[in-house]
């Protein structure tokens, strides 16, 4: 369990993200994850991100394990009631998946099937409580699980750019009380926001933070993200820098590497997101001067 060991030891911790395929062929996803082996402590597998149909995160996590790559199962509440979530968690434990990131999930209206019916019986805090109770061996109906508790390291998400600081602080505190052992942030574009988040919110709670680093591919890409991703706030100076570059792809890599170096002095680690360009993550880490795990 590289992720748990790194977090507990205070080591600079690196995770990255891959997206399951929109179809039955997982080759590209596995190739992207293979390129991260030995460079990151664990690989997150998204779960219906932006409410778009993708292969099961649980299935891809198991395939990563077979390739010797430690996965983080992202699990959202949007599409499942508590019985389905309980089944997914028990299944993850049985398959040897050691980590779970508990998420509420993007709203259905944000996706490409807005007529689908959301469930949302639970949300992230209550899902964390559910994982904690199963880890403790509690059966939600019959007292105790017959073969003891499961073993899943729980993480949660947060947005340091949240417009409601008091709401963010309350939500993070509740997540930690519910069992979160690490906090993974949304993309961070302002180091000052991350600094304040760590000093005022997570630091007093004693929970490690992995700062979100998002690979920008071009000025147009950055403008699109600002337009469609809730809470995104990519600053104009970065958009202008991408627009002025003769090689926007290389400029995006340089920006991500600079962010890693900056955030390394603030948070315990980073979480890299490079949607449809995961093959560029090794170059980002090399340019950032991050030591191999």
Q: Give the tens place of pLDDT for each residue, 109-129.
A: 989 999 999 999 999 999 999
Cα–Cα distances (Å) from 87 to 101, 134, 139, in that order, read 16, 11, 12
Residue 291 is assigned to a structural domain of this protein: no
Residue 121 is assigned to a structural domain of this protein: yes
Cα–Cα distances (Å) from 202 to 74, 128, 227, 274, in that order, read 21, 17, 29, 25
Residue 63 is assigned to a structural domain of this protein: yes
Residue 292 is assigned to a structural domain of this protein: no
Nearest to 52 by CA among 114, 135, 111: 111
CA–CA gap between residue 237 and residue 254 (Å, rounded)? 14
The answer to whether residues 186 and 157 touch, using CB atoms and an 8 Å cutoff, is: yes
Mean pLDDT, residues 43-53? 96
Residue 86 is assigned to a structural domain of this protein: yes
* The Cα angle at residue 107 between residues 103 and 111, in degrees rounded to 5: 115
* Residue span of the structural domain in which 87 resides: 2-286
3-state secondary structure (DSSP) of residue 42: strand
pTM of the model: 0.96
Q: CATH number of the domain that 221 lies in?
A: 3.20.20.220
pLDDT at 291: 66
CA–CA gap between residue 108 and residue 200 (Å, rounded)? 33
User: Residue 230: pLDDT above 80?
Assistant: no
* The Cα angle at residue 169 between residues 45 and 75, in degrees rounded to 5: 20
Q: What is the mean pLDDT of the chain?
A: 96
Q: For the CA atoms of the chain, what is the radius of gyration?
A: 18
Measured between its terminal Cα atoms, the distance across the chain in Å is 13
Residue 169 is assigned to a structural domain of this protein: yes
Residue 293 is assigned to a structural domain of this protein: no
For residue 28, give every residue at least 6 positions away whose Cβ sits within 8 Å of its Cβ, in sequence order, or none.
21
pLDDT digit string, tens, across residues 195-204: 999 999 999 9
What percent of the chain is modeled with pLDDT above 70? 99
Residue 251 is assigned to a structural domain of this protein: yes
Q: Beta partners for 155?
A: 101, 182
Domain count, the chain: 1
């Amino acid at each position: 369990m590289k992720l748990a060991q790194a977090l507990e030891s205070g080591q600079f911790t690196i995770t990255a993200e891959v997206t399951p395929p929109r179809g039955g062929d997982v080759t590209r996803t596995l190739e992207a994850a293979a390129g991260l082996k030995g460079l990151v402590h664990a690989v997150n597998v998204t779960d219906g991100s932006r409410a778009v149909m993708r292969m099961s995160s649980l299935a891809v996590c198991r395939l990563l394990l077979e390739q010797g790559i430690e996965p983080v199962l992202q699990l959202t509440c949007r599409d499942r009631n508590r019985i389905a979530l309980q089944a997914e968690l028990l299944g993850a434990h049985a398959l040897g998946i050691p980590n779970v990131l508990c998420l509420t999930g993007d709203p259905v209206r944000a996706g490409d099937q807005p007529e689908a019916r959301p469930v949302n019986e639970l949300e992230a805090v209550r899902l964390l409580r559910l994982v904690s109770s199963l880890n403790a061996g509690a059966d939600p109906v019959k007292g105790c699980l017959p073969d003891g508790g499961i073993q899943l390291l729980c993480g949660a998400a947060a947005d340091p750019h949240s417009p409601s600081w008091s709401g963010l602080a309350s939500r993070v505190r509740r997540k930690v009380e519910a069992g979160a052992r690490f906090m993974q942030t949304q993309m961070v574009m302002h180091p000052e926001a991350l600094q304040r988040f760590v000093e005022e919110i997570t630091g007093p709670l004693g929970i490690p933070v992995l700062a979100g680093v998002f690979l920008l591919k071009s000025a147009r890409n950055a403008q699109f993200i600002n337009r469609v991703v809730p809470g995104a706030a990519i600053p104009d100076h970065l958009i202008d820098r991408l627009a002025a570059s003769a090689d926007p792809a290389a400029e995006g890599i340089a920006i991500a590497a600079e962010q890693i170096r900056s955030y390394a002095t603030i948070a315990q680690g980073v979480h890299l997101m490079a949607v449809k360009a995961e093959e560029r993550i090794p170059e980002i880490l090399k340019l950032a001067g991050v030591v191999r795990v």
